[in-house]
Amino acid sequence: MSERIESVLQEKRSFSSPEAFKAKARLNDKMAYNRLYRQSLDEPDTFWGNVANELHWFEPWDKVREWHEPFVKWFIGGKTNLAYNCLDRHLNSWRRNKAAIIWEGEPGDQRVLTYQDLHREVSKFANVLKGKDIGQGDRVAIYMPMIPEAAIAMLACARIGATHSVVFGGFSAAALADRINDATAKAVITADGGFRRGSVFPLKPAVDEALEQCETVESVFVVKRGNNDVAMQAGRDHWYHELMDEVPTDCPAEPLDAEHPLFILYTSGSTGKPKGVLHSTGGYQTYTYLTSKYIFDMRDEDVFWCTADVGWITGHSYIVYGPLLNGATQVMYEGVPNYPEPDRFWQLVEKYRVSTFYTAPTAIRAFIKWGDAWPKCCDLSSLRLLGTVGEPINPEAWIWYQQVIGNGNCPIVDTWWQTETGGIMITTLPGVHEAKPGSAGLPFFGVEPAIVDVDGNEQAANDGGYLVIKRPWPSMLRTVYGDDDRYRAQYWSEIPHVYFAGDGARRDEDGYFWIMGRVDDVVNVSGHRLGTMEVESALVSHEAVAEAAVVGRPDEIKGQAIVAFVTLEEGRLGNEDLRKALLQHVSKEIGAIAKPEEIRFADALPKTRSGKIMRRLLRNIAAGEEASGDISTLEDKSVIEQLMQSG
């Protein structure tokens, strides 16, 4: 790494939460936030001890925190169980008959599981696992579609102390095998298949192929969902429903040490040996509980919907664990947002009276491209809070989201966090902070971020640099599974004595953080290091552009030249006049230095099935190279061919 990153994006608008929202919000006073935030930094043992005491502990802790850089322990000596806190804790109240999960499959089939129902199913499957000699310390791979059994499998593992490793259902057999082998998993939980875009995508065949390379797996549990033909290996493979019929409904939750390994989650897009981020139990549950409670202003009458997949950290923290810890009702949906029509999400919001909607900027930009008519044909009046996750949101998409989906009445929480952080780190608290379109906002309790140069020197307001966290927080990763040296080198060595997030950012004069994208995506143009997010934001602010992705390609004179891949609004044509207009627009918005050398128009950008743009492939295309690395998670492989021909 070298030099600081220049910030060129200018955005001056700000929005307060509506007075009606503020009046009922859990936090609605800046002074109260400031007091709690200061306590979380100055008296972390008191602050986090108070939060943890809102949850159930079989045995109290002896010490809140123990920090020996870069390794931390939280709630040392305490015994708890995350599944107990998600389920059993609610059964002695009226919540036992409250809907925990409202599920809809892509074909339109529906299920509702109350907290009592979910407790029974989790307990039964925990007994199934125990019946196959799976228990504390064993690793279990989960490779599932978005069906309730995915959450049940995770909670059942947590209940008995097995460490789960959820692998996104879009990964290839080879990627699944890598993750199974790295974790030395003893079992795999999967399904025959799931539904996507009106047809079944098979999962069990990929498991069979993966297990040809895996020696540690003794049992495979298969949920019948797609009804596609699958092979079942005698002695190893078992139908989920058959085993569930044979076990009792009672399975007491195991008292587990606060630092017991809860899950391993492999970061996406990596090459070489998979990087397994390891999270433990007590600190993770405390942090996801509190972030869900305050950031989503979660309350009993809410219907919460996070559109992520359980295969990603967002699905872990804000589908399975955070909402259930708070006794929330949530929607879970199996399919894509535009099947059978582009109003599917809005139909679900209307049908289930969703009040909190949490999705990705890339999805929002797709909604914009499909047109305002789709959301406007549905009743979205139940919405009271909107959220974004996964990448920085450009200001124009933020405004559209606020106006068209929120009707100007919903605060937006733009959340910055990572697989490694376990929970949301920076956001605007609804009811407390004004929101600035495009800014992630202010730090959450216990989080002390800073913008520094490569030597760790803090930068002045509005100077770009590296985003770091200066102290440990309860939900932070404990290590890279099986590789403490890699953990130390990757996260705590590049900048001395701080956690380096891998993102570039700036902090403005009000203390708000503006994320500029991964430092890997910085483009070095004639000695100016520019964050790609800011150039993308400028392009998308043009009325013709629906989405843009910017990468650098080698240039003999400039070092790197900016190449922009652009998809247009419906009805717009990509021609030379528009190309010139976009170049002028970028120059006007953020300066001539950021003008792309090349603009390529395309019907779509290469994305994973989780919606992330695969910039690695775009860098290959921009440089005239063959697409490299694993493309098994690519949503539509024909996009690559079209982009290569557009050059």
Same domain? For 287 and 148 the reply is yes
Contacts of 334 (CB under 8 A, 6+ apart): 103, 104, 105, 106, 145, 146, 147, 194, 195, 196
> What is the model's pLDDT at position 642?
74
| Any domain includes 244 | yes
pLDDT(552) > 90:
no
| Any domain includes 360 | no
Same domain? For 114 and 199 the reply is yes
Same domain? For 494 and 611 the reply is no
Same domain? For 243 and 322 the reply is yes
Which band of pLDDT confidence, cut at 50, 70 and 90, is reported for residue 616? confident
| Any domain includes 305 | yes
| Any domain includes 393 | no
Distance CA 156, CA 154 (A): 5
| 300: helix, strand or coil | coil
Dump pLDDT digits (tens) for 432-456. 999 999 999 999 999 999 999 988 9
DSSP 543-594: TTEEEEEEEEEEETTTEEEEEEEEEE-TT----HHHHHHHHHHHHHHH-GGG
List the CATH number of the domain containing 599: 3.30.300.30
| Any domain includes 509 | no
Which band of pLDDT confidence, cut at 50, 70 and 90, is reported for residue 517? confident
**Domain boundaries, position 274:** 19-347+422-434+471-502
Same domain? For 240 and 291 the reply is yes
Distance CA 640, CA 162 (A): 40
Same domain? For 70 and 158 the reply is yes
**Partners of residue 514 on adjacent β-strands:** 506
Given its phi and psi angles, is residue 412 left (phi above 0), alpha (psi -120 to 50 degrees) or beta? Answer: beta
The amino acid present at 578, given as its one-letter code, is L
> What is the model's pLDDT at position 271?
45
| pLDDT, average across residues 405-415 | 97
DSSP 483-520: -HHHHHHHHHTTTTTSEEEEEEEEE-TTS-EEEEEEGG
| pLDDT, average across residues 528-541 | 78
Distance CA 219, CA 538 (A): 51
| Any domain includes 358 | no
| Any domain includes 382 | no
pLDDT(330) > 60:
yes
How far is the CA of 459 from the CAs of 446, 449, 456, 466, 493, in angstroms? 21, 12, 9, 9, 19
Given its phi and psi angles, is residue 62 left (phi above 0), alpha (psi -120 to 50 degrees) or beta? Answer: alpha
pLDDT(281) > 60:
yes
> What is the model's pLDDT at position 11?
77
pLDDT(64) > 90:
yes
Contact between residue 416 and residue 515 where contact means Cβ atoms under 8 Å apart: yes
Q: What six digits make up the tokens of 403?
A: 């106006």
| pLDDT, average across residues 602-610 | 79
Same domain? For 113 and 218 the reply is yes
> What is the model's pLDDT at position 161?
98
Based on its alpha-carbon atoms, the radius of gyration of the chain, rounded to whole angstroms, reads 24
List the CATH number of the domain containing 85: 3.40.50.12780
| Any domain includes 365 | no
Dump pLDDT digits (tens) for 553-589. 887 666 678 899 999 988 888 899 999 999 999 877 7
Same domain? For 171 and 252 the reply is yes
- pTM here? 0.87
Contact between residue 430 and residue 413 where contact means Cβ atoms under 8 Å apart: yes
Per the structure, how many domains does the chain have? 2
pLDDT(3) > 80:
no
Nearest to 325 by CA among 635, 644, 52, 32: 52
> What is the model's pLDDT at position 5?
60
Percent of the chain with pLDDT over 70: 93
Same domain? For 110 and 147 the reply is yes
> What is the model's pLDDT at position 270?
40
Same domain? For 531 and 496 the reply is no
Which band of pLDDT confidence, cut at 50, 70 and 90, is reported for residue 643? confident
Same domain? For 140 and 40 the reply is yes
Same domain? For 477 and 562 the reply is no
Q: Which of 168-177, 201-210, 212-221, 246-255 has the lowest mean pLDDT?
A: 168-177
